Structure 1
Amino acid sequence: MESLKVHVLECGAMGTDIEQLIGSPKYRALAHNHHRERVWASCQLHAVLIEHPGGLILWDTASSREWETEWEGTGLKEVIPYDQVAEEQYLDSRLKQIGFELEQIDTVVLSHLHMDHAGNAKLFDRDGTRFIVNQAELDGAMGFDGFFQGGHIKNDYQHIDFETVTGDVELIPGVKLLEVPGHSFGQMALQVDLPKDGTMIFTSDAVYLEETIEQRHWGSVVWDNRAWLNSLDKILKIRDETDATLVFGHDSGQMTQLRTGAGNYYS
């Protein structure tokens, strides 16, 4: 565990109505203010690279630089376009900036299979690369008719030979996958226990924003709202027990406070 290094890779943002992230009365039109203006928000994307003695683990892959073509026919380009991103913010560019090539990644773990988390998975699909996803997520993501549903686009993941997990699983010493469904069929969070910086929990879409905790309300994309609430409580319980730092799935404000870029990491 002492050799772990955690790199947060900031990958630009999508634009979207705030209700995609928080369906709270704070933002919803109500009887007394039904003419209120909509709030167009930045939906931050990121990935996480873990260096450890046995190799490199990539947590999530953000969206593809070919998103406009790959999302054709889904309607997503209007709802949540990946248009707040520069060349240097795409995932492959971020990896190169900290000294790594795509071919060096040993394991890819996907929190879930939505297009903004699994969009670049195919870049790493080569002999010898280990892919991990939750079993319920894979079942759900392959279990619908057609090429897309919600945020799932089958072309992102259908040809990958996944290793699946169920429940909470220790991946390597100091690195644990937490099963936190609700947003998606088999949503996972990532817990990393670091000797210097303490425990970090990368919530992915189990908790979109810091404000999600305050509002205690899910956004527009949720598979099971009761499961989502249970998962939120699970994450907060682990946070309190471990004094963990939570890194939220899409919080642009928080991203500016995190260590990112070459030479900046957690250990």
Structure 2
Amino acid sequence: MTDILYETQDQIAIITFNRPDVLNVFRRSMFQTLLDLFEKIEKDDSIRVILLMGAGRAFSAGIDLDEVSHLFDGTMTMEQARAELNEMQELTRRMVNLPKPIISAINGVAVGVGAEVAISSDIRIASQMASFEFAEVKRGLFETNGVMHRLPRLIGMGRAAQVMLTGERISARSALDMGLITRVLPTEMLMREALEIARALAANAPISMRLVKQVLHKSYDLDLESVMQLETEGTLECIASEDLKEGVMAFLEKRVPIYKGK
């Protein structure tokens, strides 16, 4: 059985974590498979949006500990362990820097790398059965894949400190209340809603979406003047694009615009 499924529809790339019998825990090879898929998607102009989901009753319950036990059993040097951890961390870098929006539809438990992938996405919606855990402190571990950077920016420093220091389980409703996700839906409605959001994004101007994503990720680390300068440069890029002309003409002609990302 393939660990990760890939399909496309309506300019949407749908990636499914496909180890339902073990709650979609990640093998080491799945990291590279995802990286390869993101590289493929970035180069494919026909794809506008990425949708991530989990098969069965989980999004992902983390990493397969049997496959990473060598990191903890003393058989690797610290430099070897550092190199392997850096390879795993590349997942967040690729997701954040990908110039296309990523939606995570969290259908169940999201722990460890599952939670990390979710918060590295641009939009997160969840079913009523979903839950999140940043439980590294309960295992003698530490956060990876940018959790220490992204989580406080999503839910605030105080809440991030509480959920990481306690390792507590976060229900879908609590995740919504703290801003970790934006919608909670009945399980049977989750994928329909995720696809509706993805189609809405796919209909938007690719250049504009790329700029929104890029500047949002930079904005927390810049002052107001620097962000406004990025807004000016982004607007100038849009003014020079064919898509702006198409957007204006479609509005005047009362029709749906057809954007080309140019």
TM-score of the superposition, structure 1-length normalised? 0.29
Specify the structure having the higher radius of gyration (Cα).
Answer: 2
**Which protein is richer in helix relative to its size?**
2
Q: Which has the higher contact order (CA 8 A, sep 6+)?
A: 1
TM-score between the two structures when normalised by the length of structure 2: 0.30
More strand by share: 1
